[in-house]
Amino acid sequence: MAEKMKFCRDVNENPCNMCMPMGGIIALKGIAGSMVILHGSQGCSTYMRRHIAEHFNEPIDVGSSSLNEKGTIYGGEKNLEQALDNVRKVYQPQMIGILTTCLAETIGEDVDRFAGEYQRKNGLEDFPLVTAPTPGYGLSHDEGYWFTARRILTCLTKPADGHNKVNIIVPNISPADIREIKRILELTGIEYTLFPDISDALDRPFERPYTKVTGKGTLVDEIKAMSGAVATLQMGVTVEDAFSPGQYLQDTFGVPLYNVPLPIGLTNMDRFMTALQEITGKSVPDSLLQERGRLLDGMIDSHKYNFQGRGIIFGDPELVYALTTACLENGVHPVVAATGSRSERLAKLLNLSLPDGSEPLQILTETDFDRIRQWSEEGGANVAIGHSGGRYLEEQAGIPLIRIGFPILDRVGGQRILSVGYGGTMQFLDRVTNTLLEHKHKSYRKKMYEQFYCAAN
C-alpha cells in the first residue's frame, strides 16, 4: 500500500509553489526509461507538461487516464488500464510511475490495487510500476518531489549485497547543478549512484533520431541496489523523515544517512566535502582546493558591495536554506526567507544560522507572494532571489529579481543555471553583486536629486 500522508493547506493568493504531482513528475523523469501517467483529468497532465517544458525547454510527455464524469462516478479503473496499455504500446518504457491528482484522490481511487491487478492480468509482475498519491490540493511540488522519490525506493529497492558505491540523493535542482555534482564526485574518484538524475533526461543534447523515452537517468537496477551502498549522502536537511528517501534506506536496510545542505556557499560546500571524506576516507583533490581558493578571493572582491544588500529569498526549502546561508556569509542580509512548502525544519535551521545580534529574519512557510511583498517592503529589501513567480516583486515593488530554482518561465536557460560547488557559488555571488551594483547605478542619481536638490528648494 502507498504511504498515506495528511494533506491539507491554507488558501493562498498567488502562492509561492505549485502542486504535488508537478514535483512527482520531475522525480520520475530522473529514472532511465521511465514514463509517467497522471490518474485524473486530461487538463492536469496538460498543465504539468506546459510548465515543465517551458522551464527545461524540452519536450515533456506525460500520460493521462483522462477521467471524465462517468469515471468520476463509477471509478476510473478502466481509464487507468487503458492508459497503461497505451503508454506501454507507444513508449515501451522500462518503468511507469502513476501519480494521482485531486480528482482521483477525492473519489478515493485505490491505485495500488489497480496497479497490482494490472500486473497480474498482463503477466507483468516483474515490470516496475511505482504509485504515489499526490493530490494537487495536498502539499507543494517540493513535497511531491521528495515523496515520489521515496516511493520509487519503496517500490523498487530490494535487499542487496554490500558494494562500494555511495548513494547521492539530490533535491529538485537544475541539470547544470547535477552535472557539476557529478563532476566533483568523479574528481574525488568516488563510486556513486545519483538519484534522481535529470541532468541528461531534461537537458538533452540535440540528437537524431529523436526518442520518446530517454535511456538517461538513474538506472532501475542501480535503484534496486541502493540498499547495499556504504552510505547515503542526501542533500535534504529540511526534509521531514516521512518524505526522506535517505531515511527510508536507513530505516529499512541500515544504510547510514548523512544529511547535508545543498552545496551552495563556502560553508555548505565544505560540509559536503567533509561528509564525502568521512564516508570514503578520500582527500579533497588539489583542483577543488584551487576552486575553493578562487571562491574565497571572489568573496573578498565583492564584500564591499554586498553589505548594502537586503534580500528576499524564496522557493523550495532546501534551496532557500542554502541561498540564505550563502548570503549571510557574504554580507547580504536576508530580510525575508519564504517557501510555499510546509517545512517545519526550515525555520529552525535558519534561526540557528543567524549570527548573534543580527537583524531579525522573517521566515514564511506555506506562503504567497502578497505576504512576501508586504514583509519585503517593511524590511527595505532591495534584491529578490528565487524563481520567476517573483517577477511580481519586480513589477509591483521595483525589487530586482535574480532568477534561480524552479520554475523559470519568463526567461530561457533555467536548466543551465549553475549555483552549486565552489565554482557555482562564485557564479551565484557574481549575479547577486552585479544586480546590487546595477540597481544602485540606476537609481542613485535620482535619489541624490530628490534628497539634496528638491529638499533645498
For the chain, domains (ranges, CATH) are: 20-156 (3.40.50.1980), 166-280 (3.40.50.1980), 286-445 (3.40.50.1980)
Q: How far apart are CA 54 and CA 383, in angstroms?
A: 25
The answer on pLDDT for 154 being more than 90 is: yes
Q: How far apart are CA 69 and CA 127, in angstroms?
A: 31
Tens-place pLDDT, residues 237-289: 999 999 999 999 999 999 999 999 999 999 999 999 999 999 999 999 999 99
In which residue are the cell numbers 536638490 written? 453
Report the mean per-residue pLDDT for the chain: 92
What is the Cβ-side half-sphere exposure of residue 435, based on CA atoms within 13 angstroms?
A: 22
Residue 5: pLDDT band (50, 70, 90) is: very low
Tens-place pLDDT, residues 20-64: 999 999 999 999 999 999 999 988 889 899 999 999 999 999 999
Q: What is the pLDDT of residue 8?
A: 44
Return the bridge partners of 338, or none.
314, 364
Edge-first strand order for the sheet with 166-169 is 192-195, 166-169, 231-235, 257-260
The answer on pLDDT for 455 being more than 70 is: no
The answer on pLDDT for 4 being more than 50 is: no
Q: What is the pLDDT of residue 1?
A: 41
Tens-place pLDDT, residues 93-138: 999 999 999 999 999 999 999 999 999 999 999 999 999 999 988 8
Give just the sign of the alpha carbon dihedral 379, 307, 366, 342.
Answer: negative
Which has the minimum average pLDDT: 10-14, 365-369, 389-393, 429-433? 10-14
Tens-place pLDDT, residues 161-218: 999 999 999 999 999 999 999 999 999 999 999 999 999 999 999 988 888 898 899 9
Q: What stretches of 185-328 adopt beta strand conformation (E)?
A: 192-195, 231-235, 257-260, 310-314
Q: What is the pLDDT of residue 72?
A: 80
Q: Residue range 227-234: average pLDDT?
A: 98
b/e map 407-444, b = 16+ CB within 10 Å:
bbeeeeebbebbbbbbbbbbebbebbbebbeebeeeee
Q: What is the pLDDT of residue 440?
A: 80
For the record, the C-alpha cell of 279 comes out as: 564516508
Q: How far apart are CA 139 and CA 147, in angstroms?
A: 10
Which has the minimum average pLDDT: 1-10, 35-44, 255-264, 362-371? 1-10
8 Å CB contact between 131 and 105? no
Residue 448: pLDDT band (50, 70, 90) is: low
For the record, the C-alpha cell of 447 comes out as: 535619489
Q: What is the pLDDT of residue 408?
A: 95
Q: How far apart are CA 22 and CA 20, in angstroms?
A: 5
Residue 70: pLDDT band (50, 70, 90) is: confident
| Whole-prediction pTM | 0.93
Residue 358: pLDDT band (50, 70, 90) is: confident
Q: What is the pLDDT of residue 446?
A: 63
8 Å CB contact between 89 and 235? no
Q: Residue range 429-457: average pLDDT?
A: 75
Tens-place pLDDT, residues 291-337: 999 999 999 999 999 999 999 999 999 999 999 999 999 999 999 99
- Residues 6 or more apart whose CB falls under 8 angstroms from that of 438 comprise 400
Residue 457: pLDDT band (50, 70, 90) is: low
Indicate the burial class of 88 (C-beta count within 10 angstroms; 0-12, 13-18, 19 or more): middle
| Region of 248 on the Ramachandran plot (φ > 0 left; ψ -120 to 50 alpha; else beta) | alpha
SS3 string, the chain, reads CCCCCCCCCCCCCCECCCEHHHHHHHHHHCECCEEEEEECCHHHHHHHHHHHHHHHCCCCCCEECCCCHHHHHHCCHHHHHHHHHHHHHHHCCCEEEEEECHHHHHCCCCHHHHHHHHHHHCCCCCCCEEEECCCCCCCEHHHHHHHHHHHHHHHHCCCCCCCCCEEEECCCCCHHHHHHHHHHHHHHCCCEEEECCCCCCCCCCCCCCCCCCCCCCECHHHHHHHHHCCEEEEECCCCCHHHCHHHHHHHHHCCCEEEECCCCCHHHHHHHHHHHHHHHCCCCCHHHHHHHHHHHHHHHHHHHHHCCCEEEEECCHHHHHHHHHHHHHCCCEEEEEECCCCCHHHHHHHHHHCCCCCCCCEEECCCEHHHHHHHHHHHCCCEEEECHHHHHHHHHHCCCEEECCCCCCCCCCHHHCCCCHHHHHHHHHHHHHHHHHHHHHHHHHHHHHHHHHHHHC
